[in-house]
Amino acid sequence: MAREFADGSEALRIRQEIDRRQLTLDRKRKAIEAQIELLRTQLETEDQETKQLIEQERAKLAKWEDDLRYMEKSRTAPDLVQGIGRNISKGLGGQK
C-alpha cells in the first residue's frame, strides 16, 4: 500500500508538473500573440501615415511641376528676345 501511495503521489506530482508547464506555455503563447497583434496595429498605422505623406508629397510635386510649366508658358518669345537684346546691347555698350 505504501508503494501504491508513493506511486500515486508521484503520478500526481507529474500531472501537476505537466499542467504547470502547459499553463506556462499557454500564457507565453497569449503574450506573444498580443505582442504580434500590437506590432500589426503599429505597422498598419505606420503604413497609413506613410501613404498619406506620400500622397501629400506627390501633390506638392505635381503642383510644383504645374507651376513650372505655367511659368515656362508665360514666358513669351518676344519677351525673351527683348531681354536678350537688352543684355547684348549692355554688353556691347560697355566695350569701347
Cα–Cα dist 56/51, whole Å? 9
Distance CA 32, CA 36 (A): 6
- Burial per residue of 75-88, b for 16 or more beta-carbon CB atoms within 10 angstroms, e otherwise: eeeeeeeeeeeeee
Tens of pLDDT, residues 36-71: 999 999 999 999 999 999 999 999 999 999 999 888
Q: For the residues 22-36, what does the mean pLDDT come to?
A: 98
Give the model's confidence band at 23: pLDDT under 50 very low, under 70 low, under 90 confident, else very high: very high
Cell of 7: 506511486
State residue 18's pLDDT score: 98
* pLDDT given at position 33: 98
Q: pTM of the predicted model, to two decimals? A: 0.55
pLDDT at 19 over 50: yes
